[in-house]
Amino acid sequence: MSAQLQHPWYSEEKLQSVSEKLRCRETLAGTVLSLLGEPDQFCYPSIFIYGHRATGKSHVMHTLMKELELPHATVSCVECVTVGLLYEQVLHSLFGSEASSLLPRTPSLSDFVRIYRQLCSLSPSKQTRYIVLERAELLRDMDANLLPALLRLQELVKDNVTVILLSEIVWDKFRPSTGCFEPLLIHFPDYTKAELQHILDQESHPSYSPELYSAFINILLGVFYCVCRDLRELRHLAALNFSKYCEPLEEGNVKESETHKLWRNIEPHLKKAMQTVYLREVSSVQWEQQQQMEEKEAGAMRGLSAHGHVELPYYSKFLLIAAYLASFNPARTDKRFFLKHHGKIKKTNFLKKHEKTSNHLLGPKPFPLDRLLAIFYSVVDSRVAPSASIFSQISSLVTLQLLTQVGHEDQLDSPKYKCGVSLDFIRAISRTVNFDIVKYLYDFL
């Protein structure tokens, strides 16, 4: 496969070593290399590379730049909280350490271009200089003129420089309103299943045969492929779960050839991993600890979302329940739910077909404070005085972000709230105070 990477300028061995590092990306690397051309020739002013996460965008560019010793600056836009940092990094890696000190304290783009030109005339390039910007979608949030200027940097600084942008997002979302210099687009396609298998196969465990590892990867892809195609995520999952796969082999119950037994052993385990490790409910360290503790069932440990259960004072619980009921029930049904002698209500009128289950789909509705208190008094059995502590509990629920205040116009006079908790959460709360919330919810009638 390495024969695909050809270039008259670079030596065979170099290209060979490059293509060894770029598994399943040889053809793409070849295309990129032929676009870049020989180092002393001009290259297109800007190149935009897009593709999904973990499709080797940064890896390919980095390997090409490093191995072929091209003068380059790699900058991740996440790090550049101000544009000044971006300029500094570019100048530093293209012209050496003292170059960036020439920049004034808060450099403008004009300063950057001026200094670049200055340095460039001091050390004229024999080779194309490359500026590789990772996570380029963040450039859109910086100064409005930065992206258009970077795209035509070659023209502005009059140097043989190429700006390469890497992003997950398509170019259409970048284009400024008054247009700009259009970059050359290169797409990095996603890895196919076979390619993923091929790449993951490389990291086989030294004490087991590669065939065994490859079978494991096959099972892993069978479980996770329809949810996740992210190579990094898959690699992480493979590393975490391989020891579990080998467990029966170590115990001596199963031979390496009995793939079906191994599959039966690992499959439920992997399914559990999808609900826990994949969602980062359980951290990788916890997951590994669990595997050591064999008697304990995986996932028995409480995940992150289980910790979402908070301990609240008695009245706060009822206030929250009242807020939930006020948010998810229509106001016209309050009489029926919360009044003892509500009289007769026609069933057909009461249950309008189109409203059924709609509130739990559309989300919480805002309600006034009066309604919250009315429901609160009706659900609490004892008599409660409307003391200052009740009202301060409401505002502390807001600071805990269990309630949210809607509209900030008047804080004291009839404020409106929304309930911001999920059904599972409120169920758990109402269970602690022996309150059957489902009976009072309109959606579940």
Partner 1 sequence: MSKRKVKELHLTVGECISQVQRLLRERFCHFKLPNEPQGMESQHKHLLELLKRTAVHGESNSVIIVGPRGAGKTMLLNCVLSELLEVNEVKKNVLQVHLNGLLQTDDRIALKEITRQLHLENVVGDKVFGSFAENLAFLLQALKKGDRSSSRPALFILDEFDLFAHHKNQTLLYNLLDVSQSAQAPIAVVGLTCRLDVLELLEKRVKSRFSHRQIHLLSRLSFTGYLEAVCTQLSLPQDFPDPRFAQDWNASIKTLCEDKLVVDVLQRHFNSSKDFRSLHMLLMLTLSRVTVSKPTITATDILEASRVCTVDSKANILHGLSILELCLIIAMKHLNDIYDGEPFNFQMVHNEFKKFLQRKSHSIHNFDKPVVLKAFEHLQQLELIQPMDGSTAKVQREYQLMKLMLDHSQIMEALQKYPQCPTDVKQWAMSAFG
48 vs 95, beta carbon nearer partner 1: 48
Does the footprint of partner 1 cover residue 366 (CB under 8 A)? no
Per CB under 8 A, the list member of 122, 300, 361, 388 interacting with partner 1 is 361
Mask of contacts with partner 1, 199-218, x by CB under 8 A? --------------------
Does the footprint of partner 1 cover residue 21 (CB under 8 A)? no
Per CB under 8 A, the list member of 12, 81, 189, 330 interacting with partner 1 is 189
Does the footprint of partner 1 cover residue 136 (CB under 8 A)? no
Per CB under 8 A, the list member of 362, 385, 388, 412 interacting with partner 1 is 362
Per CB under 8 A, the list member of 92, 114, 198, 416 interacting with partner 1 is 114
Tell the smallest beta-carbon distance from residue 108 to partner 1 (Å). 5
152 vs 205, beta carbon nearer partner 1: 152
Does the footprint of partner 1 cover residue 56 (CB under 8 A)? no
And the tokens for 28? 């793409």
Per CB under 8 A, the list member of 404, 416, 428, 433 interacting with partner 1 is 404
Does the footprint of partner 1 cover residue 198 (CB under 8 A)? no
Tell the smallest beta-carbon distance from residue 145 to partner 1 (Å). 5
Residue type, 137: E
Does the footprint of partner 1 cover residue 108 (CB under 8 A)? yes
User: Are 67 and 14 contacting, i.e. CB atoms less than 8 angstroms apart?
Assistant: yes
124 vs 179, beta carbon nearer partner 1: 179
Tell the smallest beta-carbon distance from residue 303 to partner 1 (Å). 10
Does the footprint of partner 1 cover residue 155 (CB under 8 A)? yes
Does the footprint of partner 1 cover residue 310 (CB under 8 A)? no
Per CB under 8 A, the list member of 74, 154, 333, 393 interacting with partner 1 is 154
Does the footprint of partner 1 cover residue 227 (CB under 8 A)? yes
Mask of contacts with partner 1, 166-185, x by CB under 8 A? --xxxxxx----xxxxx-xx
Does the footprint of partner 1 cover residue 225 (CB under 8 A)? yes
Q: What is the pairing mode between strands 367-368 and 403-406? A: unpaired
Touching partner 1, residues 243-302 (CB under 8 A): 274-275, 278-279, 281
CA distances (Å), origin 8, targets 12, 15, 30, 37: 9, 10, 12, 10
Does the footprint of partner 1 cover residue 415 (CB under 8 A)? no
Helix 83-95 and helix 109-122, axial crossing angle in degrees, nearest 10: 0
Does the footprint of partner 1 cover residue 67 (CB under 8 A)? no
Tell the smallest beta-carbon distance from residue 368 to partner 1 (Å). 18
48 vs 435, beta carbon nearer partner 1: 48
Binding site for partner 1 (CB under 8 A): 6, 8, 31, 34-35, 37-38, 40-45, 50-52, 55, 108-110, 113-114, 143, 145, 148-149, 152, 154-156, 160, 168-173, 178-182, 184-185, 187, 189-190, 192, 225-229, 274-275, 278-279, 281, 305, 360-364, 404, 420, 422
